Amino acid sequence: MPSEHSEERRTQHALEQVFTYISPGSNEGISFSLSRLTDDLFDDSFLAGGDISRFTATSHRGVIRSQSATGYVLAAQGGAPAPFPVELTVDLGNGECSGTWTLPSGAAQSPSFRLQHVKTTSVSEGTLIVFAGETSSDDSVYSLALLLI
């Protein structure tokens, strides 16, 4: 079983990989998918995705932010999932991720969670880096996948 120190080292290495990729002028972009699981599958849990290529050179490695991202909550009675806009920010320096959204039920939320690297793999589209939400401000379970296109 990996130690906490080795997990943190792998997480920092993955964040460095994202920074090296997205630093101004270096590459095309990053797509993301975010999942949130709570005790209520039909009101609070969701899947979201979009582009997260807005880079700002602040802190140790900078910050990436989403643009034109959408989340979807499953409908309890079947039917089409309900869409809503999602804003996501990842601090590449410290591994903190924060989001802002208003669920279709009208509940505005601004949680944060700390990233822990799970896996990096090469796919035909680019490099896929998967993180778990190690801790969260709202006791939800998060996973974040970044596709370096």
End-to-end CA distance of the chain: 31
Residue 21 has pLDDT above 70, yes or no: yes
- H or E element, residue 108: strand 108-109
Please compute the mean of the pLDDT values over residues 104-112 and round it to a whole number.
Answer: 95
Tell me if 96 sits within 8 A of 111, measured CB to CB.
no
Give me the long-range contacts of 70-75 (CB less than 8 A, separation at least 24).
Answer: 71/34, 71/46, 71/47, 71/101, 72/46, 72/47, 72/48, 73/42, 73/43, 73/44, 73/45, 73/46, 73/103, 73/104, 74/41, 74/42, 74/45, 74/46, 75/42
| Identity at 147, one-letter amino acid code | L
Proportion of the chain above pLDDT 90, given as a percent: 79
pLDDT tens string 36-90 = 999 988 888 999 999 999 999 887 899 999 999 999 999 888 889 999 999 999 9
Please compute the mean of the pLDDT values over residues 10-31 and round it to a whole number.
Answer: 88
As a whole number, the mean pLDDT across the chain is 92
**Helices in 25-133 by DSSP H: which ranges?**
none
pLDDT band at residue 27, thresholds of 50, 70 and 90? low
DSSP letters, 111-140, are -EEEEEEEEEEEETTEEEEEEEEEEETTS-
Residue 24 has pLDDT above 70, yes or no: no
Residue 6 is predicted with a pLDDT of 86
Residue 148 is predicted with a pLDDT of 96
Q: Among all chains, which residue has been given the structure tokens 């601004």?
A: 110
Residue 2 is predicted with a pLDDT of 63
